[in-house]
Structure 1
Amino acid sequence: MNSTSTAPIQTGLTPLQIQPCVLAGRRVRLEPLALVHVDALADIGLVPALWTWVPTLMRDRADMQAYVETALAEQAKGQALPFVIKDEATGRVIGSTRFGSISAKDRRLEIGWTWLSPAAQRTGANTEAKTLLLTHAFETLGASRVELKTDVLNAKSRAAIGRIGATQEGIFRRHMICPDGRVRDTVYFSIIQEEWPGVKHRLANLLR
């Protein structure tokens, strides 16, 4: 895994320097998201169950294209760095994830917008993708804080985030309005720079 080697934690006040990159592991490979990926993402991602807890309307290819275009627009503003997730063995697209809510001057970003095709779930792909992103955030970019969030009703996601060692900070009440009109409460978690070595150890155990 070329992006999970141990490296000294960077400190200082220099803003985050975030550029498109490839993050490769044993199971998955994260590559910069592009419009050419719309068809591949639509082929695997138009499954209603994938979007149950996400405040995104996803019905057809046009919705997927809008999803990708929005991510790329946020990237152009320096607010996000989106990826496709590929199976390392086959090269096939199996999902998407991203860095978002980027505050370069505060050395802070969020990991989220992650989804995997049903066939890629429970394969270790999500754990390795999170490991690649967190390692890049803390050891290459020198992030001070990484945030993660999920729907308060999404017990599976909350448990998964807690399992890697993230700290639950609180619940943002009436935080988002979902496509079906439901008003969502959102749970926020974080990992800070000093906690990363312990989180990295936990992730390594999960991958084993």
Structure 2
Amino acid sequence: MTVLLNEFNQPVGAPLTGWQGCPLPQHCNLQGHYCHLVPLNAASHSKQLYAAWLQAEDDRGWTWLPAGPFADFASFNQFIIQAAESRDPLHYAVIDNASGEATGSLALMRHDPKNGVIEVGSVIFSPRLQHTTAATEAHALLMHYVFDTLGYRRYEWKCDSLNAPSRRAAERLGFTFEGIFRQAIVYKGRNRDTAWFSLLDSEWPQVRDALSAWLSPGNFDEHGKQRQALSVLRARQQNPQEQQK
């Protein structure tokens, strides 16, 4: 890596000629093959999301989330009302294209448009959405919006360091693990050491191409089983010579 020196012979970061920051994210509709994202709305989505969560065998899906589980629909609905009114985090409902129903939600949060940094968080995917093609596409849609539409430089993912499923999901989607922030948060009466991940704008094109290839309908057989794993497609993007084999 080339080291840049200023007039005092000190190492400095690369210049960002013409950088003027980014716009704040807005509520909008983001359309995909398997799902689409819309602004979270309690009147439209609370009952569908609550019904989707009722399919869970137990409450383990709420363990690493700052809210929940909820004892009844009234308390769940109040949570959705408050989330829908928030502007940071800015929440989106994930709508399954086949059923037309909301099956989860996620948010853009900790907006820092001046520096081009933003985080995906409050990922609340019901059992109907978890481990599905639509779950991956929901994240891909937000990535497209953040990098290609809004022009952000850095996209962050943070989770409890003990939340192994979330950490695996971040790495599968192309985020890079950066380290552990010890005793970063207190939630639900317990400590949280936070694992930090990031995806940069310079890394996004390869991640985008791999996601697009994985999400292509041609990558799934008649039973919905993937033909090539996302990890394989990402590896080929990083090693172009592998594409010729």
Decide: shared fold, TM above 0.5.
Answer: yes
Give me the identity figure in percent: 37
CA distance in 1, matches of 2:123, 2:169: 13
Are the equivalent residues in 1 in contact too, given 2:39–2:84 (CA < 8 A)? no
Q: Match of 2:41, as an amino acid?
A: A
Shift of 1:121: 2.2
Select the residue among 27, 36, 40 that pairs with 1:20: 27
Shift in alpha-carbon separation, 1:121–1:72, aligned structure 2, 3 A: closer
Counterpart position of 1:56:
67
Q: How does 1:1-208 map to 2 (within 5 A)?
A: 12-36=19-43, 37-45=45-53, 47=56, 48-59=59-70, 60-75=72-87, 79-179=88-188, 181-207=189-215, 208=219
Secondary structure at the counterpart of residue 114 of structure 2: helix
CA distance in 2, matches of 1:19, 1:55: 24
Counterpart position of 1:5:
none
CA RMSD of aligned residues (A): 1.8
CA distance in 1, matches of 2:213, 2:191: 37
Secondary structure at the counterpart of residue 99 of structure 2: coil
CA distance in 1, matches of 2:128, 2:25: 31
Shift of 1:33: 0.6
CA distance in 2, matches of 1:41, 1:119: 10
Normalised to the residue count of structure 2, the TM-score between the two structures is 0.73
Q: Match of 2:35, as an amino acid?
A: V
CA distance in 2, matches of 1:34, 1:161: 27
Spell out, residue by residue over 1:94-121, the C-alpha distance to the aligned partner (whole angstroms, 9 max, x if none).
1111111112222221112112221322
Q: Match of 2:60, as an amino acid?
A: A
Normalised to the residue count of structure 1, the TM-score between the two structures is 0.85
How many pairs are equivalent? 194
Bigger CA radius of gyration = 2
Structure with more relative contact order (C-alpha pairs < 8 Å, separation 6 or more):
1
- Ranges in structure 1 where 5+ consecutive residues have no aligned partner: 1-10
Counterpart position of 2:3:
none
Shift of 1:205: 4.1
